[in-house]
Amino acid sequence: MDSKKPPSIGALSGPGRLRVADDSERDVQALPPVAETFPSSQKIAEGELGVPFREITLSGGEPPLRVYDTTGPDGVDPRQGLPKRRAPWIEKRLRESDGNLSQMHYARQGRITEEMRFVALREQMSPEIVRDELAAGRAIIPANIHHPELEPMIIGRKFLVKVNANIGNSAVGSSIEEEVEKLQWSIRWGADTVMDLSTGKDIHRTREWIIRNAPVPIGTVPIYQALEKVKGKAEDLNIDVFLETLQEQAEQGVDYFTIHAGVLLRHVPLTATRVTGIVSRGGSILAKWCLAHHKENFLYTHFEDICDIMKAYDVSFSLGDGLRPGSGYDANDEAQI
């Protein structure tokens, strides 16, 4: 697997690459129009990039109140997926790519991408501030090049507070139809990002449906699917299985990955006196692997290999707090700190 090879333009624009219509027997429905959910509001698109906002009509005759909007295009058939609004921007950059397609890379070159201009208008800030915050590592735009349906957004300390919603199936239940509906209602009620934490059947297909219908960034915890590939046996995990899973999810268009690279072998014994132990699922998986092999966490030792995949697809990091406390008794203990 050549993780450093940038994706081809054909992978993005080829016929049917970003469609879910071949699964058309699925009974997945569009939500009611936004105007039915918010009867005193109307959606507007501002500027040449069509940045979405919602204007709320006020009862006292004052000018409409403009608010940030995450609801995405109205009335789209989920079996077709959302419009690929970013495709022309991405294809242009792919033609001149040096292998690093991250927004941070462009920001550090002094370039202002369409994604930066889009979020600048959304945040009511200048594109230069957006670029400078990205270059300094104080902000991210989670925007995988294989998620052209995305309406770009930014996370950082100078910008608006963002809210994440978690969805996902399990071995107990939930269908693709239910997961798409969870996604739709999450963004309808204002979620800025959505994490797919699926651990049940059809993980790949479920994620495809979610990404193709998501105007917001989609995140995952790749170690969950990697664990499924080794039949749930944490001790059978290895870096090859993990990188294969990472590449698969990056190809689909996942915008950010939670990576538990900070759970180190020497930290695991520090949890022995805890009342509630290790409550992070990812943290417990990697702690079990470290103890079984008495080796350092492979996500830590192969962090550069992970970075190679991330920068080739412009995937952002969410560094998982794998030893977070599960109770007040364990809070601020040595393992957490």
How do the pLDDT tens digits run along the chain, 337 residues long?
A: 454 444 444 445 433 344 554 565 678 888 999 999 999 999 999 999 999 999 999 998 899 999 999 999 999 999 999 999 999 999 999 999 889 999 999 999 999 999 999 999 999 999 999 999 999 999 999 999 999 999 999 999 999 999 999 999 988 888 999 999 999 999 999 999 999 999 888 899 999 999 999 999 999 999 999 999 999 999 999 999 999 999 999 999 999 999 999 999 999 999 999 999 999 999 999 999 999 999 999 999 999 999 999 999 999 999 999 999 999 999 999 999 9
| Domain end point (choices 99, 132, 156) | 156
Q: Give the sign of the dihedral formed by CA 27, CA 249, CA 162, CA 150.
A: negative
In a domain, 328, yes or no: no
Q: Work out whether strand 65-68 and strand 51-56 pair parallel, antiparallel, or are unpaired.
A: antiparallel
Instruction: For residues 20 and 105, state if they share a domain.
Output: yes
Instruction: For residues 308 and 272, state if they share a domain.
Output: yes
Contact criterion met (CB below 8 Å) for 235 and 289: yes
In a domain, 196, yes or no: yes
CA dist 199 and 30 (Å) reads 25
Instruction: For residues 144 and 223, state if they share a domain.
Output: no
Instruction: For residues 152 and 174, state if they share a domain.
Output: no
Instruction: For residues 264 and 200, state if they share a domain.
Output: yes
SS3 101: coil
Where in the sequence is the domain holding 114, given as residue range(s)? 11-156
Instruction: For residues 65 and 139, state if they share a domain.
Output: yes
Instruction: For residues 182 and 60, state if they share a domain.
Output: no
Which amino acid does the sequence have at 274? R
| Domain end point (choices 156, 186, 205) | 156
Closest of 277, 171, 285 to residue 224, by C-alpha? 285
Closest of 291, 302, 249, 311 to residue 103, by C-alpha? 311
pTM over 0.75: yes
SS3 43: strand
Instruction: For residues 225 and 198, state if they share a domain.
Output: yes
Q: Which residues pair with 164 in a beta bridge?
A: 193
| Domain end point (choices 130, 156, 182) | 156
Instruction: For residues 128 and 209, state if they share a domain.
Output: no
Strands lying side by side in the sheet with 41-46: 41-46, 51-56, 65-68
* DSSP character string of 257-303: EEE-TT--GGGGGGGTT-SS----HHHHHHHHHHHHHT---HHHHTH
Q: How many domains does the chain have?
A: 2
